[in-house]
């Protein structure tokens, strides 16, 4: 008998998890519908007839949310960043010249991934707290011979939106570039049309706009990017798991790449089905109305939003923390007293409230705005909480 190490002493999960689940109103993960949670508890064979039917529907629904007719829609095991890395690893090859338009943390991550596959990123940083300027992008495209352009639709980190995404993508196309768009927090919350905007790769995560689970992410490659860059490639990409040609075996040829995250794909199926049932126009409208109501409530209460309206992302709302108030104290109070969780930020003195998927429901908004105002007051801020609540109600009811 070999000597084995003793088992560690472990407490059951229900001793770790709060008795009452927190309402997840931060920058993701977001609450998931019961149908998504139920699907996520099922394991089926990753190959075979049942899975095939699921896959076909996930692709069809993926085409709808991306607004593309491309046959290259696929999911990947991993976070939104894995989808990002898959897009980069298959469209950027050593020596590729890439214009990386950055507004913050996540768009910079794409530049870092370009570097790691030995591409040559040129960073074009947007003006502080603003969306990218089309004229500046055009100047950069004129000056360099770029193969690829990367940008984010909604920069979750500082809540800036690239509202000129459509023009920038078309412009990049005119200069012969492939365009990679990060739509992790925005997909299905605001308009994005892959084919008509001429985007070559769109990536998203499960846990934000789609209101699915984290860990299974969806992406699409355009037909032309596939034909130009992926199908004729001579060198194998660096990453085996992220190889789009290998992934295509599973997603389009009913064969094996790696064991697909079946439960997560079933969850994604349900999340996408709920998007299709709601329809995109209605979903965009719901997100817009809820986010604008929340923003109006926050401002009327006496707090400031970080980003000017012209550049502001609606999917995640960034709130300036007043002087002499601690963001950590506010968040802790919200979680402990109101069972509502929101996010801090990466190095910025803001709080962030998500408006993605299930977060954009009136019943969640009232609880969240009340929790925010009440916790801000407890942390020393002077606010008119009732005025904020009344304003949000007014906007939500369409009187705004
Ligand atoms: C959350 C997010 C990511 C990263 O997603 P992970 O699932 O954490 O890897 C990338 N881009 C944007 C815009 C995001 O909001």
| 48 alpha carbon – ligand 1 mean position (Å) | 32
Res 320 pLDDT > 80: yes
For position 62, which CATH number holds?
A: 3.40.640.10
Percentage of the chain with pLDDT > 90? 98
Mean pLDDT of 226-250: 96
Is there a single domain that holds both residue 87 and residue 155? yes
Among 223, 247, 278, identify where a domain stops. Answer: 278
Structural domains in the chain (count):
2
According to DSSP, the residues that pair with 317 across neighbouring strands are 353
Confidence of residue 6 (pLDDT cuts 50, 70, 90): very high
Query: What confidence tens digit (pLDDT) does each residue in 208-234 have?
Result: 999 999 999 999 999 999 999 999 999
6 in a structural domain: no
The atom of ligand 1 lying closest to the CA of 152 is 13
Mutate to test the pocket of ligand 1, among 184, 188, 215, 216 (most ligand atoms within 8 A of CB): 184
Mean pLDDT of 285-299: 98
Q: Which of 72, 315, 94 is nearest to 194 (CA)?
A: 72
Binding site: residue ranges?
A: 352
Tokens of 28: 């993701």
Mean pLDDT of 331-351: 95
Structural domain of 151:
42-278
**Which run of H or E residues covers position 351?**
strand 350-354
Residue identifier of the C-alpha nearest atom 12 of ligand 1: 184
Between CA 287 and CA 229 the distance in angstroms is: 36
Question: Where would I find the beta strands (DSSP E) of 188-281?
Answer: 201-204, 216-221
Is there a single domain that holds both residue 292 and residue 263? no
- Tell me which residues have their CB closer than 6 angstroms to ligand 1: 28, 79-81, 106, 152, 154, 156, 182, 184-185, 205, 208, 214
Query: What confidence tens digit (pLDDT) does each residue in 140-175 have?
Result: 999 999 999 999 999 999 999 999 999 999 999 999
Is there a single domain that holds both residue 247 and residue 297? no
How many Cβ atoms sit within 10 Å of the Cβ of residue 41?
A: 9
Phi-psi region of 354 (alpha: psi -120 to 50; beta: other; left: phi over 0): beta
CA 245 centroid distance within chain: 24
In this prediction the pTM is: 0.97
| 209 alpha carbon – ligand 1 mean position (Å) | 11
Mutate to test the pocket of ligand 1, among 27, 80, 105, 108 (most ligand atoms within 8 A of CB): 80
| 112 alpha carbon – ligand 1 mean position (Å) | 14
379 in a structural domain: yes
Q: Which of 237, 269, 226 is nearest to 85 (CA)?
A: 237
2 in a structural domain: no
Mean pLDDT of 331-337: 98
Query: What confidence tens digit (pLDDT) does each residue in 29-65 have?
Result: 999 999 999 999 999 999 999 999 999 999 999 999 9
205 in a structural domain: yes
For position 19, which CATH number holds?
A: 3.90.1150.10
Cβ contact 167:344 at 8 Å: no
- Which SS3 state, helix, strand or coil, does residue 213 take? coil
Beta strands at 178-182 and 201-204: parallel, antiparallel or unpaired: parallel
pLDDT value at residue 398? 86
């Amino acid at each position: 008998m070999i000597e084995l190490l003793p088992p560690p002493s472990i407490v059951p999960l229900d001793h770790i998890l709060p008795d009452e689940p927190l309402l997840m109103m931060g920058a993701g993960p977001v609450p998931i519908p019961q149908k998504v949670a139920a699907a996520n508890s099922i394991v089926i064979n990753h190959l075979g007839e049942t899975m095939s039917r699921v896959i076909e529907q996930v692709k069809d629904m993926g085409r709808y949310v991306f607004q593309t007719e491309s046959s290259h829609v696929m999911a990947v095991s991993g976070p939104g960043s894995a989808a990002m890395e898959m897009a980069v690893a298959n469209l950027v090859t050593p020596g590729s010249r890439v214009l990386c338009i950055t507004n913050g943390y996540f768009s910079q991550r794409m530049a870092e991934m370009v570097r790691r596959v030995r591409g040559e990123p040129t960073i074009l940083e947007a003006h502080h707290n603003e969306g990218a300027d089309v004229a500046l992008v055009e100047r950069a495209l004129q000056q360099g011979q770029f193969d690829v352009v990367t940008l984010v639709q909604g920069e979750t980190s500082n809540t800036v939106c690239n509202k000129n995404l459509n023009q920038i993508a078309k412009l990049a196309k005119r200069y012969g570039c492939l365009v990679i768009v990060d739509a992790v927090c925005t997909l299905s919350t605001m308009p994005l049309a892959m084919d008509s905007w001429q985007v070559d790769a769109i990536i998203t995560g499960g846990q934000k706009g789609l209101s699915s689970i984290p860990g299974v992410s969806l992406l699409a490659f355009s037909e032309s990017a596939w034909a130009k860059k992926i199908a004729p490639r001579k060198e194998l990409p660096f990453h085996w798991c992220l190889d789009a040609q290998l992934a295509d075996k599973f997603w389009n040829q009913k064969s094996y790449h790696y064991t697909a995250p079946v439960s997560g794909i079933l969850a994604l199926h349900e999340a996408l089905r709920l998007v299709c049932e709601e329809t995109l126009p209605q979903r965009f409208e719901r997100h817009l109305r809820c986010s604008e109501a929340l923003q109006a409530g926050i401002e009327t209460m006496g707090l400031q939003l970080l980003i000017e309206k012209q550049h502001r992302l609606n999917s995640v709302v960034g709130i300036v923390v007043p002087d002499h108030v601690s963001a950590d104290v506010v968040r802790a109070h919200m979680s402990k007293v109101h069972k509502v969780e929101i996010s801090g930020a990466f190095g910025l003195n803001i709080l962030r409230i998500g408006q993605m998927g299930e977060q954009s429901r009136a019943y969640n908004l009232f609880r969240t705005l009340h929790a925010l105002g009440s916790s801000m007051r407890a942390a020393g801020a002077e606010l008119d909480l009732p005025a904020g609540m009344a304003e949000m109600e007014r906007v939500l009811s369409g009187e705004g």
